[in-house]
Structure 1
Amino acid sequence: MKNVESYTNPIVLERADPWVYKHTDGYYYFTGSVPGYQSIELRRAKTLNDLENSERVTVWTAHDTGEMSHLIWAPEIHYIKDKWYIYFAAASSGQPKNNIFQHRMYAIECEDENPMSDNWSEKGEVKTHINSFCLDATTFEHRDVLYYVWAQKDPAIPGNSNLYISEMENPWTLRGHATLLTIPEYDWEKVGFLVNEGPAVLKRNGKIFITYSASATDENYAMGLLWADEDADLLDGYSWHKSEKPVFTSSEENSLYGPGHNSFTRSEDDQYDVLIYHARPERNKEGDPLDNPNRHANAQLFKFDSEGFPQFGAPGSSTLNL
């Protein structure tokens, strides 16, 4: 890969909550929240910088009314046991009740070798331990166990959403109890809204890392970090540790604001880890930041410190240069 220090950012315009999966066929598969929030788009390319002008297809469209008809947020594509799955959050049609979003989480499945098709089937709602607002599901496998990590509102806990983990019976059904991982507790997690959301998993250096995003979706949005030992019981809340400070925040110098809702992939030559995240080119000037489509997908190489922890640097400044 030429010029490993940087990518030409943004790699995809107007796609918040960017998710990239690098498959064994050599393609990067990309999805993210589409402005208007009424469909799920999938695109693919052999390089991250080719994604903006790449092959693309709408694989699923919101229902006309009722369940899964409104505010389709944060899709993620995963390849599990030789099938493709996309997880996403959706609300019922109409405005939020009492100004509170009513999202639930859903899964769709594709058995084709190439997921760039319309052959996706709905597997229904991924039901959790509480019937409440939930979103931003991700999955990962560890030692032959499939795990599900997501954000959800618990009416008994102040705030908008916390992070949870559970085992999965299959790619659309949870099994056993849900373990609370983190709640918004530090000041930087509670600006505008009390939010922990957008988890992404990275397995490196004998640890399971989970990044997440916190606060309102404007320039105050920032990323935090959880970690557990790879030999620990991942369903034991005491196995997890949490950074008191954010690990990725707005860069005034590079005009990248509100970085977050990230995913991880590998560089084209498979030599480096890549952080995929959205950010705004300016502070949100007025109105609801969710209505502003200027969150663009960016890619950034990063390295690890002597203790094996990821060092993301600042948005727009790869730690490989340090």
Structure 2
Amino acid sequence: MDVSRIYPNPLIEQRADPFIYKHEDGYYYFTASVPEYDRIELRRATTIEGLREAQATVVWRKREKGQLSANIWAPELHRIDGKWYIYFAAAHTTETDEGLFDHRMYALENPSDNPLEGQWTEKGQIQTAWESFALDATSFEHRGTHYYVWAQKDPKIPGNSNLYISAMENGWTLKGPQTMISKPEYDWEKIGFSVNEGAAVVKHGGKVWMTFSGSATDHHYCMGLLFADEEDDLLDAASWTKGSEPVFQTNEENGQYGPGHNCFTVGENGEDLLVYHARSYKEIQGDPLYDPNRHARVKAFTWREDGLPDFGVPGRDTAVVEGADIAGK
């Protein structure tokens, strides 16, 4: 495994919340939030670097008004029971714009072998215990069960979002209990906003590892870590241990700010890869959510002798960023 390999950084410009899925057909599939927050794109290539120049195909666009009409965030592509699913969050427009940040989670389904082709069907909102702000869903399989992990606001708990897990009945329906496995409690999770979001799962060394992101989406944004033993009941909150310090964060020396909202994949040579977004500058004009320059980035990582993942620090830019709008919107 070539853990010393340096990938072009950034890999893909102006693509936040990046997600790469390596499929058994030999392709890497990429999706992410686009700066306009108005559509969902997919692209594919047989190599990680090939994703840089791969043509993006729009597979779904937001509605003009009402539900599913604003701020399309953080799509992820998953393969469940022989079909493709895209999970994403969407807000809604109102006359007063009060719904622009009142997100709910939704699913799309496609039975085609190639998710860039065929028909994507809306399967509706993912129903959870509350009708409240919810986003950043991911899914993983463990010992024959598909799990769904997401961020949501519990009306009874102070803060913006906590992390929850549930088993899945099918690709768009949850079943059984939903369990809170993390809420913002440390200072580094509560700067600007009290946030746990953007969960990602990787299994290694007999454990299920889950990263997540915390704080506001400026240079304070960073990643934390949860883990559970692979033998434990993942729906039991007591099975999960949470680290008290961030595991990946801003690195001033390398000019990398606010790394987070990651996923995991495997490189062509079997190396474990961390996929994430970060900016290459600290000062932002206006709302960080409308600054378009959170770029998708990839780096190899290793595992320490004590079994913990070692993500290192976000690497400095190695690729020329074309026409970055540092002023944002």
TM-score range, shorter chain: over 0.9
Tell me how far apart the structure 2 counterparts of residues 62 and 241 of structure 1 sit (CA, whole Å).
38
Partner SS for 1:5: coil
Mapped contact 1:210–1:226 kept (Cα < 8 A): yes
Equivalent pair of 1:222/1:260 in contact (CA under 8 Å): yes
Instruction: Give the AA of the match of 1:233.
Output: D
Q: Which residue of 2 aligns with 1:145?
A: 145
Q: Which residue matches 2:208?
A: 208
Kept in 1: contact 2:93–2:100 (CA 8 A): no
Q: Which amino acid aligns with 1:161?
A: S
CA positional deviation for 1:254: 1.1
The residue number in structure 2 matching 1:177 is: 177
CA distance in 2, matches of 1:117, 1:128: 30
RMSD over aligned Cα atoms: 1.4
The DSSP-based 3-state class of the residue aligned with 1:217 is coil
Pairs within 5 Å for 1:84-123:
84-94=84-94, 96-97=97-98, 101-117=101-117, 119-123=119-123
| Helix, strand or coil at the partner of 1:7 | coil
**Which position in structure 2 is the counterpart of 1:303?**
302
Structure 2: tracts of 5 or more residues without a match: 317-329
Q: Which amino acid aligns with 1:67?
A: Q
Deviation at 1:114, TM superposition (A): 0.6
The amino acid that maps onto 1:126 is I
TM-superposed deviation, 1:284 = 3.3
Q: Confirm or deny: 8 A CA contact 1:11 1:50 kept in the other structure.
A: no
How far did residue 173 of structure 1 move?
0.4
Residue in 2 that maps onto 1:41: 41
CA contact (8 A) 2:91 2:100 kept: no
1:290 CA displacement? 0.5
User: In 1, distance between residues paired with 2:239 and 2:192?
Assistant: 30
Partner-residue secondary structure (3-state), 2:50: helix
Q: State the Cα deviation string for residues 88-141 of structure 1 (Å, max 9, x = none).
A: 0001124652x8821000000110011112511111100101110000000011
Decide whether the 8 Å contact of 1:96 with 1:102 is kept in 2. no
Instruction: Report how many aligned residue pairs link the two structures.
Output: 315
Q: Which residue is equivalent to 2:57?
A: 57
**Where do residues 216-235 of structure 1 align in structure 2 (5 Å cutoff)?**
216-235=216-235
Contact 1:59 1:118 in 2 (8 A): no
| 1:290 alignment counterpart | 289
Closer, same or farther: CA 273–3 of 1 in aligned 2, 3 Å: closer
The alpha-carbon distance between structure 1 residues 260 and 184, as it changes in their structure 2 partners (threshold 3 A), is: same
Asked whether the equivalents of residues 247 and 312 of structure 1 are also in contact (C-alpha less than 8 Å), the reply is: yes
Range with bigger deviation, 50-59 or 222-231: 50-59
**Aligned-partner SS, 2:56:** strand
Q: 1:155 to 1:96 in 2, by over 3 A?
A: farther
Q: Deviations over 1:201-231 (max 9, x none)?
A: 0111100011000000001000000000000
Shift of 1:4: 4.5
Tell me, what secondary structure is at the counterpart of 1:188? helix
1:167 equivalent to 2:167? Answer: yes
Q: Normalising to structure 1: TM-score of the pair? A: 0.95
Output the TM-score relative to the length of structure 2. Answer: 0.93
- The 10-residue stretch of structure 1 (87-96 or 288-297) with the greater mean CA deviation from structure 2: 87-96
Say whether the 8 Å CA contact 1:280–1:296 is kept in structure 2: yes
Deviation of the 1:54 alpha carbon: 0.4
3-state secondary structure, aligned to 1:290: helix
SS in 2 for 1:18: strand
Aligned CA distance change for structure 1 residues 275 and 176 (closer, same or farther; 3 Å):
same
State the secondary structure of the residue aligned to 2:260: strand
Distance in 2 between residues matched to 1:154 and 1:121, nearest whole Å: 29
Give the 3-state SS of the residue equivalent to 2:51 in structure 1. helix
3-state SS in 1 of match to 2:203: strand
Gaps of 5+ in 1: 318-322
CA distance in 1, matches of 2:73, 2:101: 12
AA aligned to 2:219 is E
